[in-house]
Amino acid sequence: MVTALYRRYRPETFAELIGQAHVTEPLQQALRSDRVNHAYLFSGPRGCGKTTSARILARCLNCAEGPTDTPCGTCPSCVELSRDGGGSLDVVEIDAASHNGVDDARDLRERAVYAPARDRYKIFILDEAHMVTQQGFNALLKIVEEPPEHVKFIFATTEPDKVIGTIRSRTHHYPFRLVPPAEALSYVEELCSGESVAVDDGVLPLVVRAGGGSVRDTLSILDQLIAGSPDDRVTYDRAVTLLGYTHDELLAEAMTALASSDGPGTFGTLDKVMHTGQDPRRFAEDLLEYVRDIIIVDAAGDAAAALMPGSSEGALDQMKGFAHTIGTPRLSAIADVVNDALTAMTGATSPKLHLELLMARLLVAGSHRQPSAPATRPSVSTAPAPGQASVPAPAAEPVAPPTGPVEPLTMAMMEASWPAILEAIGEKKRAVWSAVTGTQIVSLDDDVVTIGFPALSGADVLKKAQGPGLPVNAELVRDAILGVTGHRVRFKVVELPKDDTEDVVSEEIAPGQPEKPVAAEPTETASWPTVVPPGSESSTESQAEAEHSPPEDQPVEDIEPPINGLSQVGEAVIREVLGGELISEHRVDDGEVR
């Protein structure tokens, strides 16, 4: 019969307590300078050392050499209060979960009156203090407020908010916290070598992760693994199956398949995962964690090893490889998709189905990373509405190269990146962000993105300058798109159809205009900024349209002052707004931002 690890390794001094320096240092200082309060409140998540600290504090206070910040360990009090000791008469531990009533509080009050039997103080440790009833606290109030000289109180609780305010205000409150993974990891590493237990690479990070920052939980898990392993050797396979995590190899396999948009590979891996009996939600969580790790490795570069203690060199190299082939924008998009799917899986009747759909979505999100430029190019040019078919041609060549990502921008990529783009905008300027929230990508025509606004007036803010002498807000949107997708685009705005597009358009078009049908095009209402050179097939149509239909989708580029009254119809307005130049080929090129 072996005592549990967490009991054998229960700290006996503050120095042995890990991850709580923010609490133990001030406490030790108070002990050294003899400024110990009469009541303490230790709060924090379970298993992070509250009760242990209360015992250590009691030990420090009652040590024959004390009060001291480091108990001597040899005096009768220290021996009694050590981890193997039987407990001291003067240190009373009360489990408030079962002694929470008024009678218990009165009993405690009576006991507090008597002087300590041998040591300096009579110390009451109330564990699970939040369980004490209101009446119980009220009965304690007087003695906690003005205790006899020889009495100290230590309340330990996971829920400090439930300890009544009148008690809390009479205590010194020390919030304990979960132990950071790095500290927990080096602690269990030391512990394993102390116990002469060999563990495979990658086991201890799993143990720490499963422990969730609670030292007690972490040690219990390690204890279980050691107990179930022959020859004092904990293997990765055993740990990963026992703890229910997804094997790293399976995660890497899934990532490889996703990176190459390999459908059969992806679902083959998924099948394997399901055959191991893995919980779909757990797999999605592990995948998200893995993607996060890759993003960190990518962002951190050489510092990655320090940021991810416990990861082997091989694992780091593999992640670097993924980061390189997949690229940050897509990794970020994958993380978003997985995260959303995880939310949807909560309480879902068929999480497996959700997981399969998730993988399908990840594959689709992946397709645009394929270096299949020739394949996507034609599909883009066939996409535009019939009336616009010839539009992309003139702008295509000059615009594409500058920032130089190889793969072309696709509608799917644009749509997938839109939330991230909005977020990037939000980080720069809230006002612009709130204007573009709720918008959606209507279409992508070569390098011209059409953004649909619920109301066109919402786009007005884009025409305003970012500040005196600064470019307009629209630049900010363009920069965000560049930042996320790697593509420098132009964009135009349209009003999203509400119930009936006709309504919106017909209001503004002068009755009887023959060109009306063009403007009534559902998605691409009008499009003067992308107009083709004069003389080409659609130029007359576009010109006519520009002359007669309202510039409801005027390009936001180059428009310095906020413009109101745009809904007026007419060439004069366009001239005024756009600097006296009606649409022309050179206008479009000039307007491009490189």
Q: Are strands 440-445 and 233-234 parallel, antiparallel or unpaired?
A: unpaired
What minimum distance in Å lies between the beta carbon of 87 and Zn ion? 15
Examine residue 75 and tell whether it contacts Zn ion (CB under 5 A). yes
Q: Residue 152 or 368: which CB sits closer to Zn ion?
A: 152
Residue 493: φ, ψ to 5°: -120, 145
The H-or-E segment that residue 151 falls in is strand 151-157
Cα–Cα distance for residue pair 153/143, rounded to 1 Å: 10
Q: Which stretch binds Zn ion (CB under 5 A): 17-25, 69-77, 402-410, 509-517?
A: 69-77
- Options 26-34, 56-64, 184-192, 267-275: segment touching Zn ion (CB under 5 A): 56-64
Tokens of 486: 């790697």
Cβ closest to Zn ion, residue 75 vs residue 393: 75
Q: Does 79 bind Zn ion (CB under 5 A)?
A: no
Binding part of the chain for Zn ion, among 61-69, 500-508, 523-531, 545-553 by CB under 5 A, reads: 61-69
* Range in contact with Zn ion (rule: CB under 5 A) among 62-70, 163-171, 398-406, 577-585: 62-70
- CB nearer to Zn ion: give 70 or 538: 70
CB 124, min distance to Zn ion, A? 20
d(CA 211, CA 217): 5
State which amino acid sits at residue 243.
Answer: L
Burial class (CB in 10 A: 0-12, 13-18, 19+), 516: middle
Which stretch, 60-68, 229-237, 282-290, 293-301, contacts Zn ion (CB under 5 A)? 60-68
Closest CA to 138 of 108, 159, 115, 114: 108
> Smallest gap, in angstroms, from Cβ of residue 18 to Zn ion?
23
Q: Is 78 in the site for Zn ion (CB under 5 A)?
A: yes
Considering beta carbons, is residue 120 or 587 the nearer one to Zn ion? 120
Please choose, out of 66-74, 111-119, 505-513, 528-536, the segment that lies near Zn ion by the rule CB under 5 A. Answer: 66-74
30, 31, 54, 63: which one binds Zn ion (CB under 5 A): 63
Residues whose CB is less than 8 angstroms from the CB of residue 276 and which lie 6 or more positions away in sequence, other chains included: 241, 247, 250
For the bound state, the minimum distance from the C-beta of residue 31 to Zn ion, rounded and expressed in Å, comes to: 13
Question: Which of 63, 304 has the CB closer to Zn ion?
Answer: 63
Site residues for Zn ion, 285-344, by CB under 5 A, read: none
H or E element, residue 450: strand 448-453
User: Which C-beta is closer to Zn ion: that of 63 or that of 125?
Assistant: 63
DSSP string computed for 411-473: HHHHHHHHHHHHHHHHHH-HHHHHHHTT-EEEEEETTEEEEEESSGGGGGGGGSBSSTTSPBH
CA distances from 191 to 51, 195, 198, 200, 265 (A): 21, 6, 11, 15, 41
| Binding residue (CB under 5 A) for Zn ion from 72, 141, 182, 300 | 72
Dihedral-angle region of residue 244 (phi above 0 means left; psi in -120 to 50 means alpha; beta otherwise): left
Task: Give the Cα-Cα-Cα angle 317, 321, 326 (nearest 5 degrees).
Answer: 150
Is 31 a residue that touches Zn ion (CB under 5 A)?
no
Residues of span 132-161 touching Zn ion by CB under 5 A? none
Residue with smaller CB distance to Zn ion, 61 or 449? 61
Cβ proximity to Zn ion: between 72 and 393 the closer is: 72
Considering the complex, what minimum distance in angstroms separates the CB of residue 81 from Zn ion? 9
For 472-501, letters b (16+ CB in 10 Å) and e give bbbbbbbbbbbbbbbbbbbbbbbbbbeeeb
Can you name the residues that pair with 494 across neighbouring β-strands?
452
Residue 200 is given by DSSP the state -
Stretch that binds Zn ion, among 64-72, 331-339, 437-445, 553-561 (CB under 5 A): 64-72
Shortest CB 68 distance to Zn ion, Å: 8
Q: Nearest-CA neighbor of 331 among 297, 377, 306?
A: 297
Q: How far is the CB of 59 from Zn ion (least distance, A)?
A: 7
Pick between residue 72 and residue 226 the one whose CB is nearest to Zn ion: 72
CA angle 121, 126, 130 (to 5 degrees): 150
Interatomic CA distance for residues 18 and 458, integer angstroms: 54
Q: Does 36 contact Zn ion by CB under 5 A?
A: no
- Number of residues forming the site for Zn ion (CB under 5 A): 6
CB closer to Zn ion, 72 vs 252? 72
Residue placing its CB nearer to Zn ion in the complex, 66 or 310:
66
Give SS3 for 70. Answer: coil
Which region, left, alpha or beta, applies to residue 446 given φ > 0 means left and ψ of -120 to 50 means alpha?
left
Compute the least distance from the CB of residue 34 to Zn ion, in Å.
16
Q: Which two tokens stand for residue 529?
A: 């900024």
Kindly tell me which of 49 and 71 has the beta carbon lying closer to Zn ion.
Answer: 71
Of 65-73, 176-184, 212-220, 502-510, the segment contacting Zn ion by CB under 5 A is: 65-73
Residue 125 CB, nearest distance to Zn ion (Å)?
A: 18
Binding site for Zn ion (CB under 5 A): 63-64, 71-72, 75, 78
